[in-house]
Structure 1
């Protein structure tokens, strides 16, 4: 009769192997911002949903870090943090020209979930790596794009449309 094999993990990695894996992970994370900065936001086009129209990022390839305060300073404001959660951070910028929101995400998947949810309402958004800027005046997004990079996405609204009243 054959013996059953143990389902549990019986061997543990050596401390040296664990240290090497940790060092490799740390090194790869250190180089991640450099690789991301060189992309010019082109990966965002591939991640967008079918319902969005995308414009190209600036030729300079500028990409802002995914931090509300840094993006805000690049656009010329000091943000008021509205949401501080595990899935996102959101800051409100109020200027003489326009009010706008800067939303950052710890992972791309949260950004994509946010965009998928916003698609119901439609509108234009400036989208970068782990961040989104939305403005009351969508024409301002082009000016922000020249400063912080990203792509402008036009999301198609899918909600109810106003029709003639039957009463």
Structure 2
């Protein structure tokens, strides 16, 4: 079976919903210095954060695995191209979630999990669109949060 972009976006959406749930807060986490953004294969990135990846997708365009470590459960994906990565993220963000984004890789999980992963992998924090409807003036979502 050939893996198509819509299939990958759908898989990302299901993973984001399953991992992030609804609402929540960052628990008042304290900001720490962010290291230079990591690079490398999915296996290399997984080793950096001490998880054994459970491969879900192993295609030319994307490699995606479920990981679990002391910080929590998350999806780790690597991409063949920057464009493919951005298209995947843009499609997945419609379903909410919390994303740690590096060069040709992304980790998706709870806020506390991706924040903890950032202490090792570096990268930028991004949020999906919040469809929960709470908050009066809220944002339209999709904002990049580099300083959290």
Normalising by structure 2, report the TM-score.
0.62
Deviations 1:100-125 (A, max 9, x none): 11100011000011011112101210
1:102-113, aligned counterparts within 5 Å? 102-113=76-87
Q: Secondary structure of the equivalent of 2:66?
A: strand
Q: Name 2:56's counterpart in structure 1.
A: 82
Deviations 1:40-88 (A, max 9, x none): xxxxxxxxxxxxxxxxxx7554221141111111111111211011210
Q: How many residues align?
A: 103
**Distance change >3 Å, CA 60–CA 119, structure 1 → 2:** closer
Q: 2:109 aligned with 1:144, yes or no? A: no
Q: Name 2:105's counterpart in structure 1.
A: 131
Q: CA deviation at 1:144?
A: 0.7
Between the aligned partners of 1:148 and 1:125, the Cα distance in structure 2 is 12
Structure whose alpha-carbon radius of gyration is higher: 1
Normalising by structure 1, report the TM-score.
0.55
Q: 2:67 aligned with 1:93, yes or no? A: yes
What residue ranges of structure 1 are gaps of 5+ in the alignment?
1-57, 162-167
Between the aligned partners of 2:99 and 2:132, the Cα distance in structure 1 is 21
Q: Name 1:67's counterpart in structure 2.
A: 41
What residue ranges of structure 2 are gaps of 5+ in the alignment?
1-31, 134-148
Q: Name 1:8's counterpart in structure 2.
A: none
Between the aligned partners of 2:43 and 2:113, the Cα distance in structure 1 is 19
